[in-house]
Amino acid sequence: MSPTADTGGTRMARTVLELKCISCGVKFERSFERKRGDSDYSEGEMVRLEGASCPNKCSGEWFAVEKSHPIRKFKRNMGG
């Protein structure tokens, strides 16, 4: 089997969330890896991300998901 075949190991997917702080309204992006197949965050959903706080230093811990999009990897052929 090839090393990229899914043999029951944990496959990860990178996701970017566009978030809005509930306390002060500042918008920012956060990217992270999660297990492939885990549920996606829906627009308008309230989330509390582990280890995340508002970049505006307002001590906000709850965020509204504005947008969620996966980062897909593309194979590129280099050369002629």
Q: Which domain holds residue 18?
A: 13-33+41-71
End-to-end CA distance of the chain: 29
The tally of domains found in the chain comes to 1
Domain membership flag for residue 80 = no
Residue 67 lies in a domain: yes
Residue 17 C-beta-side C-alpha neighbours within 13 Å: 22
Neighbours of 23 (CB within 10 A): 13
* 1 in a structural domain: no
pLDDT in tens, 12-31: 778 889 999 999 999 999 88
Q: Give the angle subtended at the CA of 34 by the CAs of 29 and 35, to the nearest 5°.
A: 160
For residue 4, being part of any structural domain is answered with no
The whole-model pTM stands at 0.65
Query: How many CB atoms within 10 Å of residue 12?
Result: 12
Q: Flag whether 5 is in a domain.
A: no
29-68, pLDDT tens digit by residue? 988 777 766 667 788 899 887 777 888 989 888 999 999 8
Confidence of residue 77 (pLDDT cuts 50, 70, 90): low
β-partners of residue 49 are none
In a domain? residue 3 = no
